[in-house]
Structure 1
Amino acid sequence: MALRLSFLTLSIGTALLTLPFAQAQEAAFEIIEVHGAHQGSYTSVTPEAQAPVSDISGLLTQLPGTAVNGNGPLTGIAQYRGLFGDRVNTQVNGVSLAGAGPNAMDTPLSYASLINSERIEMHRGIAPVSAGTNTVGGSIKVIESQASFNDTQGRIAAQYQGNGGQSHLGAKVNVGGKNHALLVYGDLMHGDEDMKSGDDLRLSPTGYDKQIIGGQYRLNLSDKGLDDESIAIGYQHLETTEAGTPALPMDIDFIRTDRVKLEGEHRLDTWDLNWHLAFSDARHGMDNFSERQKPESANARYNNAESQSYDMALTLGRDAWLFGLDSQLSEHNSLITDPTKPMFRVDNFNKVQDDTYSAFAQWQQDIDQWHWQLGARVKHYRTDADEVSHSMAGAMPAIKVLMDRYNQADRTQAQTGLDLVINGRYRVNEELTWILGLARKQDSASYQQRYLWIPMQSTGGLADGRTYVGKMDLDLETAYQLELGADFNRQGLSISPRVFLHRIDDYIQGVKSTDPAVIMAANMMGSQDPMEFANVDAQLLGMDINASYEITDQWQLDLLASYVSGERRDIDDNLYRIAPPKVNLGLNFREGNWSARIEGVMVAAQDKVSESQSEQASAGYGLVNLVLAYDRQNWLVKAGVNNLFDIDYEDHLGGYNRVFNADLTPGQRMPGTGMNAWLTGEYRF
């Protein structure tokens, strides 16, 4: 059964429920954090406060304005106010390191350890320039535990989800004295079965096997016995095997990644200096035959991809000022073969260099009732790639034309961008604060959008089933952003609404290709109507709101609602894969060691879809989730049920089924998961 809800229904419901309803302690709400002399406005959510997830991207649904493009159980792509992928600055443990997968199977958030992650933190609204290099789509950061001095403690956590037989076991231990501290952690994650929809259809393949181990050593440099000056080195190894991605043309055979981070914090007279240098070596194999049944008419394909990347940053702050330098350098390779035909070889990407260098300055100050934050960031992008080859170029003239054109082109590109941000907070009184944000931001094309030379689906996880080619000389996207909002708090009632408008010139998306060689090559490979990346004009507008109300000391209510509309400005069309309007309502109870929550999730139909990308509309639906928890000083047990009534629904951001001979037909929109009973426990020492 699919429950259809119009946006008008959601709007009326939101209007009626905003005043009395509120967000409970376990849900995300805006907080103000102070780091030294610099203040920032964030929303955050902790893993312990929510139902269990197989990938930490699942927590994003509890933050205002966020959503997840899900191509598989471990491949959640962050979306914020309609923008997703590389447009959203996503950092894990303070760094932005490139994944190996050209189709974003190893997304940035997939590298976060479940046991070692303390929270996901988001700059709500227009992200300041200090948040990261490319923040057109906002900034999301996974805050992980750090080795800490004068502290010895540990935690063991386990969870099990019935739908898909998903399990997780994690442990971490910190041992810290006055001058030395060591943190070690590990995660074991398994999905033993395919998940099922509300109609009991197998979502195949959705099994997985994933392990993460890591640690950090920290040395205290302070001669005063404090922990404000230190140097640390951390290491993480991730290995994923046999993981399904049914919305993509291939599944994960393996992902093996080693990451190292060296960092330090120092006090230089009255200046605070922070720096880090991080390195990642990622290897990734994927194919179309190990986890799914390949059609007899299709050829076997195996893609070996790898990347090496560096992330470097240095910030210097004092009083109202913060200055920074940072750089991200990466190289990408991807080679496609056919295990049944040893002579078949295609350079998907060959030594693609994608480098960024930037510097920023940020100032913030209280002036009367205003708190102002102003910033500027200059960014320089450099990209390049080596020549490519295709074993079938001699037999297929169209492929040879595309290969020669690519190899003979000047593949080196250099561009310079500028971000300017003004954020203001006007404090009317102790109860009410007005919010104002203005920005001009720029972003560069992804390496896939520039250097995908032959029609393929290596598009950074678009999952629309279309083949694309890139364009080397794409212009920088230029976004003009406006945000207005308020924070209101009175007698247990808190309301925090925001409205926003983004006008983006030279927005990069796929348009129908008119190149005869591209069309011919695509047709020879069995693909119709290939796309090519191009600069267009776009606009996004919308709102999001969160609220909380304490009925009594034991009972609380919460509300989280969002709406975004994305349109092309150059033609009459909508942007692709925009999250539908959504409202979360929760009733919470807490008494002594016991707590409970009942939550209603209402999602409207999404009929504002991209005709250019043949996007399908989706119906609205409503879900009910339950949680019961018992928390003592050293241990916690939680149990719950998601989708209590086993509703069958379409996940608009879940892509389309690409698997043959399965319960779902090829091209069918992926359903959401059906009823899922779960149990978690943890022991703290």
Structure 2
Amino acid sequence: MKLTRLIRASLLAGYPLVAASPALAEHATTPQSREDALTDTIIVTARRSNSIASDAVAAPRQIALPADAAAIAARVAGGDIFGNGALSGQLSYRGLAGERVLGRVNGQRFASGGPNAMDPPLHYAPSVLVERIDIARGVAPVAEGPSLGGAINAQLVQAQFTDGEALAPQARMASQYRSVDDSYAVGGLAALANDSWRIGLIASREQGEDYRFPGGTAVGTSFERNLYGVHAGYRTASGELFVEYRRSETDPSGNPPFALDMVFFNTDFVQGGFRGQVAEDVGLTVRLGHVAVRHLMDNQTLRQPAAPPMQARATFADADTMTAEAALRFGQSRSHIELGADAEITDRFVTITNPANPAFFIDSQPDIRAERFGAYLQWRGGLGAVQFEIGGRIDRTEQTAGVPQLGNAVPMGPRGLAAAFIASGRNASDTTFDGVARLWIGGEALTPRLTLARKTRVPSVLERFAWLPTEASFGLADGNIYVGNQALEPEVAWIAEAGFDLENDWLTLRPTVYYRRVDGFIQGTPFDDTPGIVNSPVEMVASMGGDPTPLRFRNTDAELYGADLDFVVRPVRQIELAGTASVVRGQRRDIADDLYRIPPANLRLSATWATDRLALGAELFAAADQNRVSQTNSELPGDGYATIGLFARLSFDERLAFEAGVENLLDEDYAPHLAGRSRVGASDVPLLERLPGPGRGIWARLTAQF
């Protein structure tokens, strides 16, 4: 029995299979390279229908297409989203988020360009172009690279090889209108391919205005983004040579929880390599990549009201990431040894300016460089009925910071902090070790599974080298001011999780319980023993920024534990009930406090009735109150809520479909607990209140494949 379980949009994610027949498989396979008792896959657009195995009829489920692909990934069991703006959401997975969850697009990892993570990895995956989202269940294998928790990869649509020698055209298109923010999205693929060559062009355009909620309009939430690219592959008897290039251009887009909004992100992606078999039972994968991010954010272009001249800020940020990886696999898919190595080199530079005063500028992250080199060994095999995947990896990380430059208009407080930073070591090095052991027993209907792991995370360059007290916190958006700490040690997580997959003709059920003990958990803590008393240079500068109680990143101890499940019930052929349920608890072990931004318990239920051409359904999402909140981060409790949506899909044939629906049918006034707090003054959302969810609206979408 194949251990992969597919969380398709038509099954659990509630998302349309773009350009696909409504008669897609209940348990379709996906082109994974490793065993997937270990991976959740959300398919958001279908491959060409003849490449998806079918063994039953599934009715597609549909939701309004969010611009932020993180909102799709958040629908997985154990998932939620940090709502920091229409294009800046971060996946929260089993209570972990940010750099603790490995994020990639098309298998390529890279550094965010924004110091406050305005561009987390899925910022570069427009939903209208996403083909599937793979999420490592609970713990990422060592082969995927270092990460404290799971891993996520968004795969964009690409041309596919065919079975014939003649070049054949391929095309996909999706377009949508959404009334709640008067937004539209359009994107697609145009390609030519045969059995040896494939070349494709992709492009998308998205634009939306400030969204409406029952209390008015959430000002400062408009967005605009373009993406275009080209990719190609050449297949030989031994494998495929591939190359791709993409350009992502985000124009002025709002980030109400932050002090600044996006003016632009201009980002170039390039990667290429080889994947295939170089000898009998010997596989080789080689990949090289480069990502260049150029970013500007300010409080003038979109912010209402704009900051007065003295407080006007425009921050320029660059980030360049070079990656290289290679892996050799000896053996068959179910019994092999994989040996690999990878490298990641990142250069960052961040300068804060005042557009009204050229003499005011501060290099808050000057010439920051991080180099990581790693190697791993992973063994996949079996012992009797027990199957296993066991791996270990070692990584060496070097981090350095340059000398900050300051303009003549910068006051003495920051100058003193800059001088102290220049006199410090401004470098760090760490050697980390990860180990993951997964075991499962495959059966016709029941698959028990167990995972034990030791995972690590090296402190980020922001956590170590943020010498200037600012609100940059990689997207926490809690209004606190943070400062770095060069004495930080890596986080070490000890993880255990257990569950089972149960599947028969009418039921699919996958519950998991887990425990994660984290030593050295990096958390913002009071800067000194006298919070609120301004008696240090850091507190003086922070007080000038409006917060006399700054937080300093320190190693603490924490634990996260919980349970989640997804299920599908098929009482009759035309009716399907599906859903997810999740609960997680996160708390400090060194003091009596809860961790910040831990999702509340939530439940998602959907029901669909479908024929070969028509599907109708409804979805309920409910979140409980969240009263276990972080006192350290001044977090306020969150209220529970429930929303209902309706959806329908009409398939004209296997290549053309029309979809429509109503979101928030009852016009519920609610604010998700993980939503950021608005910093926009001229908005119907009160200052420092959580951003509300969108109100009632309709949406319509047309999808096609040729």
| TM-score, reference length from structure 1 | 0.92
Separation in structure 1 between the aligned mates of residue 518 and residue 317 of structure 2, nearest angstrom? 32
> 1:502-548 CA distances to partner (integer Å, 9 max, x unpaired)?
00000001001127111111112322211110000000000001111
1:177 is matched with which residue: 186, 194, 202? Answer: 194
1:279 is matched with which residue: 290, 295, 298? Answer: 290
SS at structure 2 position matched to 1:26: helix
Against the structure 1 CA distance between its residues 557 and 547, is the aligned structure 2 distance closer, same or farther, given a 3 Å change threshold? same
The equivalences for 1:113-512 within 5 A come to: 113-130=126-143, 132-150=144-162, 151-191=168-208, 193-199=209-215, 201-222=216-237, 229-270=239-280, 271-292=282-303, 293-296=305-308, 299-319=311-331, 320-391=336-407, 395-396=411-412, 398-427=413-442, 429-512=443-526
Separation in structure 2 between the aligned mates of residue 566 and residue 435 of structure 1, nearest angstrom? 24
Against the structure 1 CA distance between its residues 611 and 32, is the aligned structure 2 distance closer, same or farther, given a 3 Å change threshold? farther
Deviation at 1:74, TM superposition (A): 0.4
> 1:272-323 CA distances to partner (integer Å, 9 max, x unpaired)?
1011111111100000121011354861000011111112111111221111
Bigger shift: 572-581 or 98-107? 98-107
Aligned length: 654
The equivalences for 1:552-591 within 5 A come to: 552-591=572-611
Separation in structure 1 between the aligned mates of residue 220 and residue 9 of structure 2, nearest angstrom? 36
Separation in structure 2 between the aligned mates of residue 667 and residue 115 of structure 1, nearest angstrom? 32
Q: Is the 8 A contact 1:252 1:287 kept in 2?
A: yes
Q: Is the 8 A contact 1:30 1:42 kept in 2?
A: no
Q: State the match for 2:87 in structure 1.
A: 74
1:62 aligns with 2:75: yes
1:26 aligns with 2:11: yes
Q: Is the 8 A contact 1:545 1:561 kept in 2?
A: yes
Against the structure 1 CA distance between its residues 348 and 395, is the aligned structure 2 distance closer, same or farther, given a 3 Å change threshold? closer
Amino acid at match of 1:633: E
Amino acid at match of 2:212: K
2:690 is matched with which residue: 660, 665, 669? Answer: 669
Deviation at 1:34, TM superposition (A): 7.4
Separation in structure 2 between the aligned mates of residue 561 and residue 36 of structure 1, nearest angstrom? 28
Amino acid at match of 2:226: Q
> 1:153-182 CA distances to partner (integer Å, 9 max, x unpaired)?
101210011011110011211201343211
Q: Is the 8 A contact 2:12 2:580 kept in 1?
A: no
Separation in structure 2 between the aligned mates of residue 24 and residue 99 of structure 1, nearest angstrom? 28
Deviation at 1:26, TM superposition (A): 2.9
Amino acid at match of 2:260: M
Deviation at 1:116, TM superposition (A): 3.5
Deviation at 1:35, TM superposition (A): 4.9
> 1:615-647 CA distances to partner (integer Å, 9 max, x unpaired)?
111100010011100122220110011111110
Q: Which has the higher contact order (CA 8 A, sep 6+)?
A: 1
Deviation at 1:248, TM superposition (A): 0.7
Q: Is the 8 A contact 2:362 2:410 kept in 1?
A: no
SS at structure 2 position matched to 1:83: coil
Q: Is the 8 A contact 1:393 1:400 kept in 2?
A: no
Deviation at 1:23, TM superposition (A): 9.5
Separation in structure 2 between the aligned mates of residue 411 and residue 247 of structure 1, nearest angstrom? 30
1:655 aligns with 2:676: yes
Q: State the match for 2:42 in structure 1.
A: 45
Deviation at 1:660, TM superposition (A): 1.4
Q: State the match for 1:10 in structure 2.
A: none
Q: Is the 8 A contact 2:293 2:320 kept in 1?
A: yes
Q: State the match for 2:18 in structure 1.
A: none
1:86 aligns with 2:71: no
Amino acid at match of 1:419: D
SS at structure 2 position matched to 1:403: helix
Amino acid at match of 1:607: N
Against the structure 1 CA distance between its residues 538 and 393, is the aligned structure 2 distance closer, same or farther, given a 3 Å change threshold? farther
> 1:72-94 CA distances to partner (integer Å, 9 max, x unpaired)?
00001111100000010111101
Bigger shift: 567-576 or 661-670? 661-670
Unaligned runs of 5+ in 2: 1-6, 14-25, 46-60, 163-167, 529-534
Bigger shift: 22-31 or 575-584? 22-31
Separation in structure 1 between the aligned mates of residue 409 and residue 474 of structure 2, nearest angstrom? 25
Separation in structure 1 between the aligned mates of residue 310 and residue 641 of structure 2, nearest angstrom? 36
Q: Is the 8 A contact 2:348 2:368 kept in 1?
A: yes
Amino acid at match of 2:646: L
Separation in structure 1 between the aligned mates of residue 98 and residue 81 of structure 2, nearest angstrom? 10
Separation in structure 2 between the aligned mates of residue 125 and residue 383 of structure 1, nearest angstrom? 28
Deviation at 1:122, TM superposition (A): 0.9
Q: Is the 8 A contact 1:580 1:604 kept in 2?
A: yes
Separation in structure 2 between the aligned mates of residue 449 and residue 138 of structure 1, nearest angstrom? 21
Bigger shift: 353-362 or 140-149? 140-149
Against the structure 1 CA distance between its residues 35 and 262, is the aligned structure 2 distance closer, same or farther, given a 3 Å change threshold? same
Deviation at 1:595, TM superposition (A): 0.9
SS at structure 1 position matched to 2:416: helix
Q: Is the 8 A contact 2:521 2:558 kept in 1?
A: yes
Deviation at 1:400, TM superposition (A): 2.9
Q: Is the 8 A contact 1:115 1:185 kept in 2?
A: no
Bigger shift: 145-154 or 652-661? 145-154
Amino acid at match of 1:90: G
Q: Is the 8 A contact 2:671 2:690 kept in 1?
A: yes
Unaligned runs of 5+ in 1: 1-21, 223-227
Against the structure 1 CA distance between its residues 31 and 498, is the aligned structure 2 distance closer, same or farther, given a 3 Å change threshold? farther
Deviation at 1:610, TM superposition (A): 0.5
Amino acid at match of 1:171: G
Bigger shift: 151-160 or 82-91? 151-160
What is the Cα-based RMSD across aligned positions, in Å? 1.9
Deviation at 1:389, TM superposition (A): 3.0
Bigger shift: 497-506 or 143-152? 143-152
Bigger shift: 257-266 or 144-153? 144-153
Q: Is the 8 A contact 1:32 1:39 kept in 2?
A: no
Amino acid at match of 1:668: E
Deviation at 1:371, TM superposition (A): 0.8
SS at structure 1 position matched to 2:252: strand
Deviation at 1:230, TM superposition (A): 1.8
SS at structure 1 position matched to 2:406: coil
SS at structure 1 position matched to 2:634: coil
Separation in structure 2 between the aligned mates of residue 284 and residue 394 of structure 1, nearest angstrom? 22
SS at structure 2 position matched to 1:668: coil
SS at structure 1 position matched to 2:71: helix
Against the structure 1 CA distance between its residues 34 and 290, is the aligned structure 2 distance closer, same or farther, given a 3 Å change threshold? closer
Separation in structure 1 between the aligned mates of residue 380 and residue 620 of structure 2, nearest angstrom? 40
SS at structure 2 position matched to 1:155: strand
Separation in structure 1 between the aligned mates of residue 122 and residue 411 of structure 2, nearest angstrom? 42
Q: State the match for 1:616 in structure 2.
A: 636
2:700 is matched with which residue: 655, 673, 679? Answer: 679
| TM-score, reference length from structure 2 | 0.90
Deviation at 1:33, TM superposition (A): 6.2
Against the structure 1 CA distance between its residues 154 and 394, is the aligned structure 2 distance closer, same or farther, given a 3 Å change threshold? closer
Deviation at 1:136, TM superposition (A): 1.2
Separation in structure 1 between the aligned mates of residue 107 and residue 309 of structure 2, nearest angstrom? 46
Bigger shift: 161-170 or 143-152? 143-152
